[in-house]
Amino acid sequence: MTSAGELSTPEAPLYEITPAEQARTFAGDVQVRVVRAGWFRPDAGGFFGVVPKPLWSRSTQADERGRLLCRLNLLLIDAAGKRILVETGTGVRVGEKDREIKGIEGGDPADALRAVGEDPASIDFVIVSHLHYDHAGGLVDAAGRPIFARARYVVQREEAEAAHGDELRVNGLMETEQLDLVRAAGQLAEVHGEVEVVAGVTVTRTGGHTRGSQAVFIGTPPAAAEAGEQNDRAVFFGDLIPTRWQLPVRWTSAFDDYPIDAVEMRNQLLARVVAEGWWCYFTHDPGPLPIQLELSEKGAVQPRV
C-alpha cells in the first residue's frame, strides 16, 4: 500500500496509454484503451462522504493534507469506423491556485493524447459523463474554442438543463460556460436516456451523482441466441463509481447530489455487471484497468481475484 508521504510524488508517468497490442476488444469489434491524462488529489472527506476513515483507509490513504491520489482516466474507443473519447479531464482553464489546492498535474486532454502519440483531430465524438471540472474541464481551450474541432460532444439533456438551473446545490460547480461555448460552436449533442452513439458504444443516464450523469456501455449487445456469452462487454461508470475503492453500494460521496438515487443505480448496475461478467473502467482509479467483479462469500461486490 502506498504511504501517505509518497502520494505527492507518483512514480507512474504523467501521461500514459494502454499499448495498442494490449487494447481490449469487446463484442462488435470495439477496441478500448485507457488514456491517463494526469493526476488530481480530491479531499478524502468529500470523496468518501460519511464512510468512516477506518473503512476506506483499508483500500487507500490520504496525504498530509487529507487528499487522495487519483487518476484522470479517459477512454479512447475505436468502434464502427469512429473514434470516441470518454471524458476530457480538468483542461487548461483551472487557475493556478485551484490547481495547487486540488493537486492537479496535467489534465489537458489534447496534450495527453499528443504525448502518447494520438492525434486530437482524429476524435469524432466526445462523451462527457457529467459537467464537473475534472470531467468537463477540457471541453474548450484557453481561447474558448472546442478542443476537438470536428467532434460532437455528447451530454445528457438533464445535465445541460441542470447546469442552467437554479439549484443552490450545483450553483458554480458545473462547467456551464464551456458547455455554452461548445453549443455555440454547433458541436453539442444533447441526448436523453439510453442512446447508441455508434454501434457498440451506448450512453445511459444514471443520475445519482448529478442530475444528468451518464455511464457508457461498451460492446454490441449479444443476440438472443448468444445471451449466455460472458466477458464481451464493459461499462464506464463515471463518478457513479469513480474507483474500485467505492464498490460498496452504500458508500456515497459528499459530491453525490442525489445519494439515494446513486445507491439504487449502483446496486442495479453492479448486479448486472457481476451476473454478466462485464469488464469495468473507473474514471479516477490509479490501478490497472479494466477489471472484473465478483461476489465475496458474504455477498459483497469485489474485484475478481
**Per-residue model confidence as pLDDT tens digits over 178-216:** 999 999 999 999 999 999 999 999 999 999 999 999 999
223: pLDDT confidence band, cut at 50, 70 and 90?
low
Q: Is pTM, for the whole model, over 0.75?
A: yes
Q: How many CB atoms lie within 10 A of CB 272?
A: 13
- Domain definitions of the chain by residue range: 4-303
DSSP collapsed to 3 states, 85-112? EECCCCCCCCCHHHHHHCCCEECCHHHH
Strands (E), 192-278: 195-198, 201-205, 214-218, 234-236
Give the integer Cα–Cα distance in Å for 188 and 148. 12
For the domain covering 4-303, report its CATH number: 3.60.15.10
- Beta-strand runs (E) in the chain: 16-17, 24-26, 30-40, 70-79, 82-86, 105-106, 125-127, 152-156, 188-191, 195-198, 201-205, 214-218, 234-236, 279-281, 291-295, 301-303
* Per-residue pLDDT tens over the stretch 136-163: 999 999 999 999 999 999 999 999 999 9
Rounded Cα–Cα distance for residues 222 and 296 (Å): 27
The string of pLDDT tens digits covering residues 232-260 is 999 999 999 999 999 999 999 999 999 99
